[in-house]
Amino acid sequence: MRIHGQRPRVIIDVDGVLRDFIGSLVRVYRREYPGHQVAAVDSRKLEDFFPIGEKIYPFMDEMFAREILEEAPAYPGAIEALQRWEKEFEIIIATTQPLAGRGPTLVWLGRHDIPSNIIHITADKYRLAGLALLDDFVDNLEKFAATGRLAVCMDRPWNKHWKGPRVHTVDEFFGYLTEYLRESDFDEKVLLA
Ligand SMILES: [Mg+2]
């Protein structure tokens, strides 16, 4: 897989792929509002699932951002898969964060020993160099796919409408990618772009 000593670059999202943000949000919410019923989150319109409605956004992006983000669990096996595959691929982390989410996200990535040399905090993942993106947010996948590159969806209840490639674990993503590269006739410039 190495080309001229370099590994192909792949872009990996954080929330919904490596970090269980929603699980952490629900945990903190239930503690703050013990009487409230939280519905199962199956879209990005979070106001539909939390009884405080639109106030969920300042709740998660400002008031409790640090706790929700720093204390969120990793999805089982996700970090271990990155650690296994980093020999084959250059892992680039790309995450969109509110202002108050930047520091806690860097803390989380460090705490979990993420095997990456390059970490981007950006909403414009499609502008980054890399041959493939693994993400759970359909807008990001669509924009990335529109650049002619491989966009792979991490299966979550909120992205069922994505029609392109879909995986259920980080490990499965790298297996899919390896197969994809084997079958494709890439030139090096694309691989390393
Ligand atoms: Mg995400």
CA 48 to ligand 1 centroid distance, Å: 19
Instruction: Tell me, yes or no, if the pTM score tops 0.85.
Output: yes
Do 58 and 134 belong together in one domain?
A: no
Do 81 and 167 belong together in one domain?
A: yes
Cα gap 110→125, rounded to integer Å: 21
CA 96 to ligand 1 centroid distance, Å: 8
In a domain, 147, yes or no: yes
Distance between first and last Cα of the chain? 15
Beta strands 166-167 and 150-154, pairing class: parallel
Find the helix packing angle between 78-85 and 170-183, rounded to 10°.
40
In a domain, 136, yes or no: yes
Do 112 and 53 belong together in one domain?
A: no
In a domain, 2, yes or no: no
Residue 123 DSSP label: S
pLDDT (mean) for 167-188:
89
Do 142 and 163 belong together in one domain?
A: yes
Cα gap 119→17, rounded to integer Å: 15
Do 83 and 177 belong together in one domain?
A: yes
Do 142 and 110 belong together in one domain?
A: yes
97, 121 Cβ separation under 8 angstroms: yes
CA 10 to ligand 1 centroid distance, Å: 15
Structurally, how many domains does the chain consist of? 2
CA 14 to ligand 1 centroid distance, Å: 6
- Token pair for 187: 């030139």
User: Is it the case that residue 121 has pLDDT exceeding 60?
Assistant: yes
**What range defines the domain where residue 62 resides?**
22-71
- Token pair for 190: 């694309």
Do 66 and 78 belong together in one domain?
A: no
User: Is it the case that residue 2 has pLDDT exceeding 80?
Assistant: no
Of the pLDDT bands very low, low, confident and very high (cuts 50, 70, 90), residue 190 is low
CA 137 to ligand 1 centroid distance, Å: 5
What's residue 184's pLDDT?
A: 82
26 vs 33, 65, 134, CA distance in Å? 10, 13, 24
Beta-bridge mates of residue 15: 19
Do 64 and 114 belong together in one domain?
A: no
Rounded to a whole number of angstroms, the CA Rg of the chain reads 17
